[in-house]
Amino acid sequence: MTKNHPSLRKAASNADLYANPSPPQQLRHSHSTLARSHTTAALPRRSLADWDKRPQMGEKGRARHSYAAPYPNLIEDDEDFRPNRQQQSPPPVPPKILEEVPVPAPILEFRDGEYRLPACKITSKPVPSHPWLPAQLPPVPVRREKVKADPGRYTKPFTDFMTANPTVFHAVDAVAKDLEQDGYNKLSERDAWDLKAGGKYYVDRNGTSLIAFAIGDNYKAGNGAAIVAGHIDALTAKLKPISKLRNKAGYLQLGVAPYAGALNDTWWDRDLGIGGRVLVKEHGKIVTKLVKLDWPIARIPTLAPHFGAAANGPFNRETQMVPIVGLDNSDFNGLNASTGRALECEGEWKASPLGGEGAFAATQPERLVKAISSELGITDYSTIVNWELELFDVQPATTGGLDREFIFAGRIDDKLCSWAAIQALLNSDASLSTSSQIRVVALFDDEEVGSLLRQGARGNFLPSVVERIVEEFAESKVKNSLARTYANSFLVSSDVIHAVNPNFLNAYLENHSPRLNIGPAVSADSNAHMTTDAVSTAILQRCVDADAGTRKQDPKLQVFQIRNDSRSGGTVGPMLSAATGIRAIDCGIPQLSMHSIRATTGSQDPGLGVFAFQSFLERFEEVDKEFK
């Protein structure tokens, strides 16, 4: 979610602290309330004389009786140990022992060179005497309880995805591979498309945005589309075009620039790896290769508090948040006596000899070039044409909490909703044969910086894809069919939502504070920073309710709205809805610590998000008929 401007945020008074954001308890059914008159405590206490009037017991065994005492516990009484017991008269009759009937041993037959049990003879069943009776009754179907989907099954796949794909390039590539394994065909914007009803396709732009869509078997031009759209980029620090810096006091440092709100206070003293894409010249072609150095390489060290005011900030992100990546004390004996600085550092910046003069590799740290070349198997440094690399926290995504009810990970905003939307699309394949609509999941880049680039939501990526789909099926009047498609469509803008923080309850509105492991939250805003309205809320609620009871835990739609003295962030919803006229709602999965290098969500939340998005993709077509 895009961060709002600092000047628009105000501190809330402690007087506004609301008492308890707990949701109201569900009403208890009348039959679940047990009156005291229905319990054993209301029964009369039995006297010792009553034991002589009790019916005689056979030898079947002993009977143990419990009766209520005036105390909270029950007193158990064993008959076998009561005093003055009378002998049973007459004595019990011993049970009749059945005589064993000898079973004759089976007669073995000699077949295939050895003795075997006789083969079973198959006899034809008699024909029924009445022609209206079947010759053979159909087998009784075995009743099997339908296994309800558990949101917990998505927890580990999500954490594995987060750990394995730390950059936007890796995330989009991993999504593409999942789609291809499920039968989706890759398209290129530069080629002609040949689309078929019932087909499944995807197309990417710049390697950082992706749109996947499945066409219903009964689709016709002008029919609507069920769309889930979000962003897959995350806060990070990108390497500058020339990232090689002069050594300072024996440290090798790396020139980086913040993307969106990165290099904030949460980036101090974190173990940072380096990854991204590298353009390499091979056989006369420029190819893209993904690289990931996932061990701790860089670190932005804090200044110890013992240094006083200098350690308290504010800090300059250009000069004081420069990551260190190595040591080079070769100039230790060449210090300037007056300044204490290395003589080499006082000279001009020098290019690396790698790749030759004028090569891209010569503008980058020599040891970094070698590390990346080793990872990709590059032996000729001059073949490296360019790269886009970024820093990332190498700590793996993991579950946490006493009962593993949390997920702790980096880059949750917003790979969480992106991953859940793709899984929902893959899960909805089975119902595609009866659909007459298009199902779309769009993952955009650059949302955190305004979505202004061609791979962002303000570009023409989504409208272009929808228009080309309509063209493939429209026999005439393409613009008319496109306009009807937009009017018949619905968009779920899926971006993460602020989960309630128990330490800052005064920052939230009471009854508008989403919780973890409950379900996605609908985000509302009175100043049109969100697309949510009454109609769109009712449509999504109807879709989710249609599948209630079919899962082990049903997602419950929550609601979020920012306080009047704060400003909401932004999503891709308003820009997409305004450009196309598609009805829309903002609904995302809750998380804590948004825009921190390390964030938190619930361990059930990825699965609950999958369930909610899948219900929308599969149910929108029938629900929309109620709103026409």
> SS3 of 226, please?
strand
Question: Among 393, 423, 442, where does a domain finish?
Answer: 393
Q: How many domains is the chain built from?
A: 2
Domain containing 297 — which CATH number? 2.30.250.10
Q: Do 460 and 598 have their domain in common?
A: yes
Take residue 55 and report the two structure tokens written for it. 């019916």
Q: How far apart are CA 627 and CA 380, in angstroms?
A: 63
Per-residue model confidence (pLDDT) at position 111: 56
Is residue 128 in a domain? no
Whether residues 588 and 502 share a domain: the answer is yes
Q: Are residues 176 and 241 in the same domain?
A: no
Residues 506 and 584 in one domain: yes
Check whether residue 561 and residue 506 sit in a common domain: yes
Shared domain check, 597 and 484: yes
Residue 264 and residue 167 share a domain = no
Q: Cα-flanking dihedrals φ and ψ of residue 239, to 5°?
A: -65, 140
Q: What is the pLDDT of residue 357?
A: 83
Q: Which of 378, 393, 408 is the last residue of a domain?
A: 393
Give the pLDDT score at 36: 37
Q: Tell me if 141 is assigned to some domain.
A: no
User: Is the sign of the CA dihedral 212, 217, 220, 224 positive or negative?
Assistant: negative
Chain length of the chain: 628
For residue 120, give the amino acid letter.
Answer: C
Note the pLDDT of residue 107: 56
- Are 590 and 566 within one domain? yes
Domain finish residue from 393, 417, 443: 393
Per-residue tokens: 50? 């009553």
Packing angle of the helix pair 168-181, 155-164 (nearest 10 deg):
130
pLDDT number for residue 144 = 44
In a domain, 424, yes or no: yes
Same domain, 518 and 611: yes
- Does one domain contain both 431 and 461? yes
With tokens 């998000």, the residue in question is 609
Query: pLDDT digits over 185-216, tens only?
Result: 999 999 999 999 999 999 999 999 999 999 99
Residue 613, domain member (yes or no): yes
What is the Cα–Cα distance from 423 to 151, expressed in whole angstroms?
Answer: 12
Quick one: pLDDT at residue 103?
A: 54
Predicted TM-score (pTM) of the model is 0.77
From CA 133, how far away is CA 428, in angstroms rounded? Answer: 43
Q: Which residues of the chain have pLDDT under 50?
A: 7-17, 19, 21-22, 24-89, 93, 97, 99, 122-145, 337-338, 345-347
Residue 53, in any domain of the structure: no
Q: Are the C-beta atoms of 583 and 539 separated by less than 8 Å?
A: yes
Claim to verify: residue 416 and residue 462 sit in the same structural domain: yes
CA distances from 196 to 193, 201, 436 (A): 10, 10, 13
Q: Report the C-alpha dihedral over residues 422, 426, 431, 433, rounded to 10 degrees.
A: 110
CB-based contact 432:439 (threshold 8 Å): yes
Q: Do you find a cis peptide bond into 590, omega within 30 degrees of 0? A: no
In a domain, 109, yes or no: no
Backbone phi, then psi, for 336, in 5-degree steps?
-75, 120
Q: Within a domain: residue 63?
A: no
CATH label of the domain that carries residue 561? 3.40.630.10
Domain containing residue 186: 151-234+398-626
> Is there a single domain that holds both residue 521 and residue 427?
yes
3-state percent helix, strand, coil for the chain, nearest multiple of 5: 30, 25, 50
Nearest to 392 by CA among 236, 277, 181: 236
Q: Is residue 615 part of a domain?
A: yes
